[in-house]
Structure 1
Amino acid sequence: MKQERGQAGTHWRNAGFLSMRAMILLPLLALAACGDKPGEQPGIATNIVDEAMNEVQQVPEGANGMQTAEPAPEMPSSVAPVGSTIPASVQGRWAGLDESCADRATELELTITPTSLVFLESEGKATGVSHGPDGRIRIDAAFTGEGQSWNRKLELHPSASGRELTVIDDGRAVTRKRCS
């Protein structure tokens, strides 16, 4: 009786089990053979930073009004803050030179009120405003944005026509056009 069971089990293994095993393993082997590189899947970014860096294009300096600025000469110590009100000549809404004024969420969006500088993701409340030579305006401001707070000194250089405004922040100058 024991021999019959052994033969019956062997028959089952030989006939159905091997074909079942092959049915499971063939698709897995096919998938393994399809990959470009071992461990990688084509079209899937495993490192977003590396993927993004492959698509970076060099932008010529000055594109959209951004450029490195020479450090501005310090304002004479005799120039004291005249208060915390930003002059009316620079108040209004500003956008990047190549941006549309109709788009209210552009990267270089800036709204200047009598007491604050409102950027796309941060707002600075003016704590001191000084006037320098050649129409420069220095604004000391307490900023908040994205759950953080910091203090910053910005220099504003309005153009003679008042249609453009260059904002210098940490050695980076950005020129914007007046929208309103």
Structure 2
Amino acid sequence: MPIILLGACGQQNGNEAGQPGVVTNIMDQALPHTDEPAPPANAIVPVEPAPTIETPEPTASSAGPIPASVQGRWAGTQARCGDRSDAMELTVEPDQLIFHESVGVVQSVNQQADGRLQVQAAFTGEGESWTRTLSFRPSADGARLTIVTDGTAVTRKRC
């Protein structure tokens, strides 16, 4: 009980010890403008949003998204549609090429006079990143799509 009484006595000059220049609450002195304690060293701290990067105006070489006639799901000519294990599976969206183990973000699309499309895309997959230009040749009936990459042609069927 005597300790409680001593704690209540002698509050002078803003400190409880009664001695000028002595800080009794070290946290108030060390972190005077902090409402919350600092996060632990292994805490997950949210990252600020990335700065907005202005997109340049489309040029003659970037004619826009992939046309609707080529968009959709495609599979190898011998594969069953919907077989997620098919290495030939491809989903073509207006702005993405989603392959079995990689995704390409379309950077430009050039429509050729003969109906071919030149699609440049930035790919990521299996921990790597690369940029590639693919040549899309849809069949006249739209049931087949031949993609030429680095001189190699692969034909897929529409699902």
Deviation of 1:93 after TM superposition, in Å, equals 0.2
| AA matched with 1:118 | I
Structure 1 unaligned residues grouped into runs of 5+ = 1-78
Structure 2 residue corresponding to 1:111, chosen from 84, 88, 91: 91
Check conservation: 1:84, 1:126, Cα contact below 8 A: no
Query: For residues 91-116 of structure 1, what are the alpha-carbon distances to aligned partners after superposition, in whole Å with 9 as ceiling and x for unaligned?
Result: 00000100000312201000000101
Query: For residues 109-129 of structure 1, what are the alpha-carbon distances to aligned partners after superposition, in whole Å with 9 as ceiling and x for unaligned?
Result: 000001010000000000000
Q: Give the structure-1-normalised TM-score.
A: 0.54
Structure 2 residue corresponding to 1:147, chosen from 127, 137, 149: 127
Partner in structure 2 of residue 100 of structure 1: 80
Structure 2 unaligned residues grouped into runs of 5+ = 1-58
Structure 2 residue corresponding to 1:175, chosen from 131, 155, 158: 155
Structure 2 residue corresponding to 1:126, chosen from 106, 114, 123: 106
The CA distance in 2 between the partners of 1:176 and 1:108, in whole Å, is: 7
Highest RCO, 1 vs 2 (Cα 8 Å, sep ≥ 6): 1
Check conservation: 1:122, 1:143, Cα contact below 8 A: yes
Q: Give the structure-2-normalised TM-score.
A: 0.61
The CA distance in 2 between the partners of 1:136 and 1:80, in whole Å, is: 16
Check conservation: 2:123, 2:129, Cα contact below 8 A: yes
| AA matched with 1:97 | T
Deviation of 1:134 after TM superposition, in Å, equals 1.4
Runs of 4 or more off by more than 6 Å in structure 1?
Answer: none
By percentage of residues, which structure has more helix? 1
Identity, % of aligned pairs?
Answer: 53
Partner in structure 2 of residue 81 of structure 1: 61
* Paired residue total: 101
